[in-house]
Structure 1
Amino acid sequence: MADYSKEDFIQLVKRISAFLSSKISKVLNTQDLQSVWAITGLAVAVIFTWRLFRTPSVPQRRQPKNQAPSSSSSSGVNNNNSNPDANLFPSGVSSSYEDSRAQTVIDEFFQPVKPTLGQIVRQRLSDGRKVTCRLLGVILEENTSEELQKQATVKSSVLDVLLEITKFCDLYLMETVLDDESEKKVLLALENAGIFTSGGLVKDKVLFCSTEIGRTSFVRQLEPDWHIDSSQEITTQLARFIKYQLHISTTKTERIASNIFSSSSLEQFFNG
């Protein structure tokens, strides 16, 4: 194994210090989910870089036995064979090669880690602990109370998001209905979709009322960290009372208030 001096290691540290400094600055000034992994990667990268630095890039050649010294060697002129690496890699190329190896190791450890859906949900909700959500147009395919008198269909695309929300949030679902049969259809649709078997939502947390004012009253009484609704009117009314809101609308609208976000669907808000 090649024997590198302390000065060689110091030179390597100097070559990568600028890169590491910029990485640290970006990590400390970023509040994304990758910060912890980046800091951990930094520490491991330094260790692996030192190990690679100590590992010879090319194995030393075995000196043949009983080989007569050449005339140039005996005369002591141009004896460059004392360091085989010197012939293979000139000083400038060797330095560039070591820089490339160190950079490769660091880049591998700083590859972005794709966050899980649960991490995205938690981040988007700003660690909110209570969420209220309307059913029509958000969780159900139907958009009006009249449609619920005929059928209730849960969007399959929202199931994963709902499951993640119920893992760390107290979730309440609510809707305005015209009759008791509509309530039964909604509860049956939610049950068949497996929402009640996930462990985070029970039927008692599915609330029904007969007017839009009643739904607004539910939200204010529960005082959630987030309310999700497809009605712009109700969202506007609650802007002063609820910390954050998500307005679901298939048509692009102007932002109502700074604490109100908008998206074409619930799953798009978290998966976008």
Structure 2
Amino acid sequence: MAESSKQELVQLMKRFGAYLTVKISKLLPISLQNLNSRSVGAIAGLAIAIVFTWRLLRSPNQPRRRQPKRQAGTPSSSGVNTLSNANPLLPGISSSLENSRAQNVVDEFFQSVKPTLGQIVRQKLSEGRKVTCRLVGVILEESSPEEIQKQATVRSSVLEVLLEITKFCDLYLMETVLDDESEKKVLLALEDAGVFTSGGLVKDKVLFCSTEIGRSSFVRQLEPDWHIDSNPEIISQLARFIKYQLHISPTKPERTAPNVFSAPSLEQFFGCV
């Protein structure tokens, strides 16, 4: 390999590595926070090796055909060739093209291995096996126990994520209600939405209590890997007892603890919006 070709490959790999780091950080926002620099470097190195191998296998294996010798009496062709050789790409243009080439390789690779929603859910939840989740403000359109007395409506946009969580997590839904009729409305709304048809969630795992303290006690007794809630006071109280929490809030709240994350909605946390 010529020296110029080696230098070109090195520069391409550097640009490729930088762009790859950005792509991985967007794809794995939580797990990368828990990795040290050696682990991140190993992942990046492995990804680079995979991509270049994949790129090599995709390239055609046909040998290049020999270019026929040009006839002496073709001045127009000779003129064009001479002009082409006399005007090499400027350094800035060459650098831009190399950046574009590196980005194209990474984009093509990540498009071909785009993760499924199930893989994203597992990754985001750090492989947690038990999840507790409040209904009001997260699963239901209603934002208070008083509203549930009138009606209960499951948010259609959250269903796909909710059902995906039930496939590999032991999920418990819970809510503070003011009367028995509210419980019936919630269970009927969940049933009509098809939450109980997937087999991952049963009615016995939908828990009701009469106070916010009661809901907090439910969570502590169940000892989940993740708790999802829209009440900042509950989130704050449970921060030292639960491994991870997700605070659902329309406005981004101040982060109260390293193990507390926030998102405008459950589906947005998993990148579904």
TM-score, normalised with respect to structure 2: 0.73
In the alignment, the residues of structure 1 paired with residue 181 and residue 98 of structure 2 have an alpha-carbon distance, to the nearest angstrom, of 68
Gapped regions of structure 2 (runs ≥ 5): 29-43
Contact 1:177 1:210 in 2 (8 A): yes
SS in 1 for 2:173: strand
Tell me by how many angstroms 1:179 deviates.
2.3
- CA positional deviation for 1:138: 0.8
1:227-272 CA distance string (max 9 Å, x none): 1111111111111101111112224432222222222222222226
CA distance in 1, matches of 2:251, 2:13: 45
Partner of 1:192 in structure 2?
Answer: 192
Q: Which residue among 58, 61, 64 is the counterpart of 1:55?
A: 64
In the alignment, the residues of structure 2 paired with residue 212 and residue 106 of structure 1 have an alpha-carbon distance, to the nearest angstrom, of 53
Q: Secondary structure at the match of 2:131?
A: strand
- C-alpha change, 1:199 and 1:220, in structure 2 (3 Å) is same
Provide the identity percentage. Answer: 57
Matches within 5 A, 1:1-272: 7=2, 11-24=4-17, 27=20, 30=24, 33=27, 39-46=49-56, 55-56=64-65, 60-61=67-68, 90=85, 93=88, 107-111=103-107, 112-113=110-111, 114-271=114-271
Q: Give secondary structure in 1 for the equivalent of 2:228.
A: strand
* C-alpha distance in 2 between matches for 1:251 and 1:265: 10
How far residue 43 of structure 1 moved from its aligned partner, in angstroms, is: 1.6
Change (3 A) 1:253 1:31: closer
Unpaired runs of 5+ residues, structure 1, are 1-5, 71-80
Which TM-score applies when normalising by structure 1? 0.73
| Deviations, residues 109-133 of structure 1 (Å, cap 9, x unaligned) | 3114354433332232222221110
C-alpha deviation, 1:206, in angstroms: 1.0
**Number of aligned positions between the proteins:** 247
Conserved in 2, the CA contact under 8 Å of 1:42 and 1:106? Answer: no
Measure how far apart 1:50 and its partner are: 8.8
Deviation at 1:155, TM superposition (A): 0.4
CA RMSD of aligned residues (A): 3.9
Whether the aligned pair in 2 keeps the contact of 1:42 and 1:110 (CA below 8 Å) is no
Give the secondary structure class of the aligned counterpart of 2:151: coil
Once the two structures are TM-superposed, the CA of residue 215 in structure 1 deviates from its matched residue by: 0.8
Structure of greater Rg: 1
Supply the AA of the counterpart residue of 1:55: R
| SS, match of residue 207 in structure 1 | strand
1:77 aligns with none
Paired residue type of 1:174: M
